[in-house]
A and B are shown apart, each in its own frame.
Chain A
Amino acid sequence: MNIWIIAWFELRRMFRTRTVIMNLFLLPLILIFILGTALSIFFNSGDKIPDLDPVKVAMVESVGNRGAVTSQLNTYLQGPDIVKMIIVQDVATTEEAEKLLRSQKVDYVVTVPIDFDHQVMSGKEAKLQLMLGSNRTANMVAGTVFDSFLDEINHGQAVASVVGSMGLHQEVAISSGAPGDTHSYVTVGKLNDEATSYSAAQYFAVAMLIMFLLYSGSTASDSLFSERENHTLYRLQSMPISHAQILVGKMIGSSIVAMVQTLVIIAVSYLLYGTNWGQQPLLLAVTCMLLIFASMAIAAIVALMSKSSSSASNFMQFLIVAMTFFSGGFLPIPVGFIQNIGEFTLNHWGMQSILQIMLHGDMSEIISSIGMLAGICAALLAVTAIVYRKVGYHA
């Protein structure tokens, strides 16, 4: 009962402190908004695919080169998905096409060599002559379209070299379909058909939620020290309650604040920024609870072992910022060794779990991440118990 009296008092005390409200509730929401908006360029995900203007391509077909492969190319370029990306303009000569490119009337020039069909039919590598314009994005789009066609043709060549010309004909027939078929070699879609990609807002909502749950541990650590510095711990210890009850009561109070913080961040980010937190509220709650336990355990260890509140506070700050950085919480870092270090952080496993929940990911992966978090929690709680037995929480 005394534990709950202390927890309730701690809760009331924290909610009376303006800085706590600012740091635990307002700051994460502001950061989610700022980071989610400013860094969305790094995410090619469930965010809307930007509308690009079709690339104007000048195509030069050498006279007399109207074989089967060239016909296939023309059919391919008329495919419904392709015409959204490139507009082909037939041009008589390469010089004329170059002039159009220089005057920026077209973005890209493709010349079909005079012996293109012959080269392909004789089993040699299919090549087109390409002339790039000044727009890198247009070059990339057009290049991808034509590379895709050539890859398919060269794939057929590879089959022919292994199984013979019959195989080539069959392969061409299978892959290209009947003449005039508008089958496209390119399929436009999301990499993850079942909403398995996340937006910048989602990513940073998760990262900031975890970082600020860890900060709630820092607040708990400050609170443990303030009891010492204000001499209220001395009075508490003169009451008919054990020292462990005081510590646990305060930790429970701080944990309840962190739980309220979690609910507020999730609810407000959903309502204001439309952040989708997935369809697994129970697993989300378990993940957040484990993060809160871990954060409180770290806070207790640091507070019990530190000599001053400033050293405890500095250490907590460093630890939280470092863990957030290495786990990619400020920005995903595609550097191998940093990602390897990140795997040793609470943030990493918390993010893995929550992002998988958001993306309707494989249940085994979610459970695996939660299992890792639970393991870390158990280890931290064991260390807390050892440190408490050795050092204690005294005035």
Chain B
Amino acid sequence: MNMAFVEIKDVVKRYGSNISVDHLNLSIHEGEIFGLLGPNGAGKSTAINMMSGLMKIDHGSISVDGISVNDRPLEVKKRIGLVPQDLALYETMPAADNVTFFAKLHGLRGKLLKERVEEALEFVGLQDRAKEMPATFSGGMKRRLNIACAIMHHPKLIIMDEPTVGIDPQSRNHILESVRTLNKMGSTIIYTSHYMEEVAAISDRVAIMDQGHMIACGTQQELRERVSSLEKIVIKATQITEAVIDELKLHPRISRVSSYEDVIELYVASSQQELQDILFICAKHNVILQSLACEEPDLESLFLNLTGRKLRD
């Protein structure tokens, strides 16, 4: 568990004058589920593309299982199963043919090929739909087939790039459960998402990226400790105005204030001490409170604390 399976050292990727990944350093241990969290455009997908040998590295080095991605990309690719963010399926070919095609490209043949294709389809719960075209599948079923096409060769490292985008909660839970099972079967997992709850639910360790930088990395406990000195107050209310938010932001002992729809989130050193001031400001601006709760800080809190923005901004 302590051996670095993926080692990223001082990696830089530029697109013209824009830096997509800026001096990224990361060690991912063998057998862990590693969450890569960050808003859209944070550089997660670029980092993944470089790890998978799909994109050239401008500076630095990446090794997977001790093999340099720069020097031997095809050897690295044999060890990786990549679940792309976008569905990458041949919609006019049966589900089993999709998996078989990619399995053949990973060198599987004969009886083993047949067994692994059946196993992968069974794993994602599509064994009964093997002969059907993906064009007839629901979004969740397509997502699951997308995963089957990446795991049939039993890769040592599975990289999942936003695998739950745009699907129903039931399929999402199925996928998250699959990730845990794959990890128990021995694969190291890198799971990227901008859904904090998903990453928090399955990851052993988490790295948070923003604007090409890694701004935090560690276990969830370690990350929470970085913001544990703060408490989070969540106010649900109506008639929230710009004026009330501005005045709350001016309060010297309120660290962060954000609002969306009919919710105001505040981070304070002590909720007991500051609550009276907060209620007074709200009353002054005729905000009608519906509920008020004090919560423990989470990864969202950490991101907000570090960047001043919410993950979904």
Contact = CB atoms under 8 A, between A and B. Distances in A.
Interface string B103-123: 011110000000000000000
Contacts, number: 60
What bracket does the count of chain B residues touching chain A fall in? 20 to 34
| From B87, B89, B97, B104, residue with most partner A Cβ within 10 Å | B104
Contacts of A236: 105
Given A238-B80, A241-B74, A2 B105 contact: yes
B77 interface: yes
A242 B74 contact: yes
B93 A239 contact: no
A237 B77 CA distance: 9
A231 B92 contact: no
Contacts of B75: 240
| From A17, A232, A237, residue with most partner B Cβ within 10 Å | A232
A235 B102 contact: yes
A234 B54 contact: yes
A242 B72 CA distance: 12
B137 interface: no
B77 A240 contact: yes
A240 B106 contact: yes
Contact of B88 (A2, A16, A232): A232
Nearest to A4: B104
B89 A16 contact: no
B74 A240 contact: yes
Interface in B69-83: 74-75, 77-78, 80, 82
A241 B105 contact: yes
Contacts of A2: 105
A216 B46 CA distance: 36
Interface stretch (A5-13, A106-114, A312-320, A326-334): A5-13
B113 to A, nearest CB: 11
Contacts of A5: 101, 104-105
Given A238-B54, A241-B74, A241-B105, A13 B89 contact: no
B149 interface: yes
| From A9, A13, A17, A230, residue with most partner B Cβ within 10 Å | A9
A85 B53 CA distance: 82
B184 to A, nearest CB: 24
B174 to A, nearest CB: 21
Contacts of A9: 93, 101
B139 to A, nearest CB: 15
B117 to A, nearest CB: 14
A240 B78 contact: yes
Interface string B8-22: 000000000000000
B98 to A, nearest CB: 9
Interface string A259-292: 0000000000000000000000000000000000
B86 A231 contact: yes
16 contacts: A2-B105, A5-B101, A5-B104, A13-B93, A16-B92, A230-B89, A231-B84, A231-B87, A232-B90, A235-B84, A235-B88, A236-B105, A238-B84, A239-B102, A240-B77, A242-B74
Interface of A: 2, 5-6, 9, 12-13, 16-17, 230-232, 234-242, 395
The 8 residue pairs across chains A and B that have the minimum distance between CB atoms: A235-B88, A231-B86, A238-B82, A231-B88, A240-B77, A239-B105, A240-B78, A240-B74
